[in-house]
Each structure stands twice: as structure tokens, then as C-alpha cells.
Structure 1
Amino acid sequence: MELKLELIVLPVSDVDRAKAFYEKAGFRLDLDVNANEDWRAVHLTPPGSECSIIFGTGLTTATPGSTQGLYLIVSDIEEARAELTGRGIDVSEVFHDANGVLYHGHDAGDVTHELPGQERLAGPHPDRATYCSYATFRDPDGNGWVLQEITERFPGR
């Protein structure tokens, strides 16, 4: 049996503002449907991804900005960061964990929340080890994204 993650619902407070942000970030607009004033769905897909996001009116009761830890996998972290910042997206500096631990904290404004066992250091991993270099950004509501550099997949992926 295959189970493919296809769609993630994001809670946003302003649909048009979120749509403009994700289009600016390079996401492809797949659908923008208004059934009535109480229901609207905007569906976008990150470049190269098989999984999409959807947000709108009447889609979720989750608090806007409450979704954290959405990973976008890139083959070159510095190139991806440069492209996003070139598009006007505020992306953190590239970083890695001193202990080689998978990054599982999140950014909230100027404060980075790290979990036990982590020590965030500036720059990509010194050996550019796969799965070990990161950068983060947030949408206008605070939904949190992590760019992760993967150059070689773990076996079985």
C-alpha cells in the first residue's frame, strides 16, 4: 500500500495576503475557488513538490500561524536561500546543529526555540553533510517553514 502526503491545510488570517506571499515565494497557483462568501480555497504547490498547500475561508478552525515545521527539501541550501531572499522573502541565515541533530526547533520572531540536545551554529554544516543544513522562514501569519539541504537520501527513500 502507498500512502502519499498530498495536501497540507494552512491556517491564515488574510487569504489574499497569503496567496500573494506564496506566489512571490515561487509556489504555483493551482486553484482559487470562491463557492460563496463563507468558503474559499486557494491551492498552491511549491516548485518540484508532489505535496501542496491549501488555505482559505471556511477550511479550518486552527489558529492562523499555528502550523510549524513544514520542511521544504533543497539540494543547495545557499542557492535556495538566495532565490527566496531575491524574491523578497525574509529567510534566516543558513545554520546547522553542532551535534548533527535533526533540527526540530522553530523561529518565533527574533527568538529561536531549540529543543534539548541542540546547539544551533551559523553557516551550513562544515562537511555539507546531507540532512544537516537549514534555513527558516515564516509566512505573514507566522506559519513556519524549514529549508533542509538533502544531497543524498537515506537508504529506502
Structure 2
Amino acid sequence: MDMRLEVVVLPVSDVDRARDFYKALGWRLDADFPVEDGYRVVQLTPPGSACSVIFGTGVTAAAPGSAQGLQLVVEDVNAARDELADRGAPVSEVFHDRTGVFHHAGEQARVSGPAQDRASYGSWVSFSDPDGNGWYAQYMADEAAGDTASA
């Protein structure tokens, strides 16, 4: 049975500020439903993604900014970094983890620059939304085309 990830709920403190931040990143605004007092649902989708994010009022009891390690996949991590920065996101430099496996939590074990072998899943940039929900954009080569030059 297929089980596709559809939505990730983000805890935010200011719904309008979060909506405006993600819209500025170029994410599609799918819904903004002020259903009733104390209950509002906002949904946005990153370009090319089948999974959306939802936030609002009354949709989660999690502390604002507590979502960490959210992963986006990009074909060119340098271009993704430039676009995120141009759109106002506080984005890190391109990095890889010293272990070459997966990134550590926070900024521990980061090595500046892309992974030396430029393999898929080896290079990242990180950024946070205004509440501190933490995102990574992870390089993944277009394996069908044999692309490994964009890391």
C-alpha cells in the first residue's frame, strides 16, 4: 500500500508573518481558512513538492519553532542557496557533514563547501522560518541524467 506524505504541520506564533515568509520563498498558497475565532488553517506548498505545510491557530499544541530537520530536495544546492537568500531567508553557506553520512543536529560537524565526491544527499544548506522551524535543502543529483556537477 502506498503511503505518501501529504502535510507537515508547523508550529508558528504569528500566522500572517509565517504565511508571508513562505510566500516570499515562492511557495504556493493553497488555502487560508479563518474557520472560526481561534481556528485558522493556512496551507502552502514548496515548488515541485507533493507535500505541503500547514500552520495556523488551533492546529497544533507544539511550541512555535519546535519543528526541526525538515528536508527539501534540490537539484542544485548552490542555486537553491542563492534563491533562498534572494528571497529573504536567513540561509547558511553550502556545507557537508564531516562523516559523509547525514548532517548532525544543529551546526555540529559541518564542513564548509559541498561534499567532495558531490554524491547525492551529501551537501546541504540550512535556513529557519521567523519562528525558528529548521529546514535543510539537500542536494540530490538527477540520477537519470548522471548529473553530479551541481552539488
TM-score by length of 2: 0.91
The residue number in structure 2 matching 1:124 is 114
Counterparts of 1:89 and 1:12 in 2: how far apart (Å)? 16
Distance apart, 1:101 and its partner CA = 1.7
Code of the aligned partner of 1:50:
A
Q: Deviations over 1:124-150 (max 9, x none)?
A: 112211110011000000000001001
Structure 2 residue ranges without an equivalent (≥5): 144-151
- Percent of counterpart pairs with the same letter? 55
CA distance in 2, matches of 1:152, 1:132: 14
**In 2: Cα distance, 1:79 partner to 1:37 partner:** 41
Partner of 1:41: 41
Q: How many residues align?
A: 143
**Range 122-131 or range 137-146, more displaced:** 122-131
Which residue pairs with 1:67 in the alignment?
A: 67
Q: In 2, distance between residues paired with 1:135 and 1:89? A: 11
Contact 1:69 1:104 in 2 (8 A): no
Structure 2 counterpart of 1:74, which letter? V
Distance in 1 separating the partners of 2:36 and 2:127: 32
What's 1:109 paired with?
A: none
Map Cα deviations across residues 64-85 of structure 1 (whole Å, 9 max, x no partner). Answer: 0000000000000000110111
Aligned CA-pair RMSD: 1.1
The 8 Å contact of residues 69 and 144 in structure 1, kept in 2 or not, is answered as yes
Which letter maps to 1:141? D
Distance 1:24 1:86 in 2: 10
Question: 1:27-84, CA deviations, whole angstroms, 9 ceiling, x for partnerless residues?
Answer: 1000000111211000000000000000001101000000000000000000011011
In structure 2, what residue type is equivalent to 1:146?
Y
CA-CA distance at 1:152 after TM superposition: 4.8
1:12 is matched with 12
2:123 matches 1:133: yes
